[in-house]
Amino acid sequence: MRPIIRLLVLTALALAAPLGVARAQINGSPPPLMGQPSYHLYSVPIIRSGGVEPFFECTNTSSATIRVGVEAFAGPGGAAINDPSATSLDIPPSGSVIFGPTNAWVPPNSNPGIGPIGHGSARILASDKKGIICTAFLADVFNAPPTSMVHLNIVSKLKQRGD
Amino acid sequence: MRPAIRLIVIIIALGLTTPVGVAQGQVFTDPPPPLMGQQSFYLYSVPGVVSVGGLTTMFACTNTTSASIRVGLEIFGDAGGAAYNDPSATSLDINAGGTVRFAMRPALGFGFSGDLIAGGVNAGSARILATAKSGIICSAFIADAGNAPPTSMAKLTVVKATKQRGE
């Protein structure tokens, strides 16, 4: 293929892949967050069933703003089931955000749009390799305070250290 | 101004504008403020601090050494910026082998040693400071504040300084 045609084909492919649309599975390359390259910081096995849904709360411990997104995967695996870019947020220095669904007890900053998957996983992405710390938990979304909650393990990238 | 006089003026000015007990740290990247006049060290970070919707956050810290250590908590809110509370005024001395529990607000199900007086926090974080680099271990959890026993509770991740190693 001539160089000019190859360039045109590549450009067309790039235009057909809009910014932020997730395609990779959990061990794939993380998608950009609103045009910024992202890094896979943490993985979290999750449940979304029976009125219990996952919440992710992250804090920026650095001195510069960092964008963070949550990408979810269904139980059978495969491609992401939500758009981590469109639901990502900038966290200012020392700021914190909650990613989670609408619920009775705390207004989330962003709903990552995790559908009724039963069980699956999520990975936390950020536009910087360092500076973001997170916690995750399951909680009842119908009652304030929630009738049940439980901490979820946060795994560094894909390597679980064990409790 | 002569150098010696300038130095004296600077020392006096700093001394007058830095009263014991006032929080100095404004963000995570700032040096930890003194705790009641004693130098402090930044031990742990805790994301996930909540104090709304009937929930409170509790921090239990134990002194594993044979000497007293002062511990304080700095609470940061959603938007970042300055701490919501005064970590020095709300800090506590923990006796050798002793444990204290700091609370974002009182809870029916738990007693507590110190109220952090940080107000409502929707999505916040904390950093745990102490007057010794080692010897303090801590746990943190969210709990229903209005029922005894609590209707729900959840552990929070305690990160060593700012480096999360994963579980």
Averaged pLDDT, A115-143: 95
Average pLDDT, chain B: 86
Q: In the numeric block, which tokens belong to residue B66? A: 């044979």
> What CA–CA distance (Å, rounded) separates A29 from B28?
30
- Top pLDDT among B125 and B27 is at B125
Q: Please say if the pLDDT value at position A1 is more than 70.
A: no
Q: How confident is the model at residue A157 (pLDDT cuts 50, 70, 90)?
A: very high
Averaged pLDDT, B28-46: 94
Q: Does A140 touch chain B (CB under 8 A)?
A: yes
Q: Please say if the pLDDT value at position A75 is more than 50.
A: yes
> What CA–CA distance (Å, rounded) separates A18 from A12?
11
> What CA–CA distance (Å, rounded) separates A3 from B13?
69
Burial B18-55 (b: 16+ CB within 10 A, else e): eeebebebbbbebebbbbbebebbbbbbbbbbbbbbbb
Q: pTM of the full predicted structure?
A: 0.82
Question: Which domains, from first to last, does chain A contain?
Answer: 3-156 (2.60.290.11)
Residues 92-151 on B with a CB inside 8 Å of A are 122-125, 142, 144-147, 150-151
ipTM: 0.77
Q: How confident is the model at residue B3 (pLDDT cuts 50, 70, 90)?
A: low
Averaged pLDDT, B53-61: 94
Report the residue from B47, B49, B153 with minimal CB separation from A149: B153
Q: Cβ-count burial of B1 within 10 angstroms (0-12 exposed, 13-18 middle, 19+ buried)?
A: exposed
- A146 and B167 within 8 Å at the Cβ level: the answer is no
Helix/strand/coil for B17: helix
Averaged pLDDT, B41-64: 95
- B166 and A157 within 8 Å at the Cβ level: the answer is yes
CA distances to A80, A98, B90 from A122, in Å: 9, 14, 37
Q: In the numeric block, which tokens belong to residue B158? A: 């305690």
> What CA–CA distance (Å, rounded) separates B21 from B18?
9
- B167 and A109 within 8 Å at the Cβ level: the answer is no
Burial A141-151 (b: 16+ CB within 10 A, else e): bebbbbebbeb
- Top pLDDT among A36 and A119 is at A36
> What CA–CA distance (Å, rounded) separates B135 from A50?
42
Q: Does A59 touch chain B (CB under 8 A)?
A: yes
- A145 and B151 within 8 Å at the Cβ level: the answer is yes
- Spatial contact of A72 and A152, defined as CB atoms under 8 Å apart: no
Amino acid at B81: G
Among B21, B130, B118, CA closest to B77: B118
Q: What is the pLDDT of residue A34?
A: 98
CA distances to B13, B14, B16, B34, B37 from B19, in Å: 11, 9, 7, 10, 8
Instruction: Say which DSSP state A30 is in.
Output: P
Phi and psi at residue B90, to the nearest 5°: -100, 5
Q: How confident is the model at residue A15 (pLDDT cuts 50, 70, 90)?
A: very low
Among B158, B131, B166, B164, CA closest to B46: B158
Q: What is the pLDDT of residue B22?
A: 41
Q: Please say if the pLDDT value at position A10 is more than 80.
A: no
Residue B165 has a CB neighbour count (10 Å cut-off) of: 10
Averaged pLDDT, B149-154: 92
Among B155, B127, B108, CA closest to B44: B127
Longest CA span, chain A: 64
Instruction: Say which DSSP state A87 is in.
Output: T
> What CA–CA distance (Å, rounded) separates A132 from A124?
10
Q: How confident is the model at residue B110 (pLDDT cuts 50, 70, 90)?
A: confident
- Top pLDDT among B27 and B94 is at B94
Question: In angstroms, how far is CA B5 from the centroid of its own chain?
Answer: 38
Q: How confident is the model at residue A49 (pLDDT cuts 50, 70, 90)?
A: confident
Q: Cα torsion at A18, A134, A144, B82 (round to 10°)?
A: -100
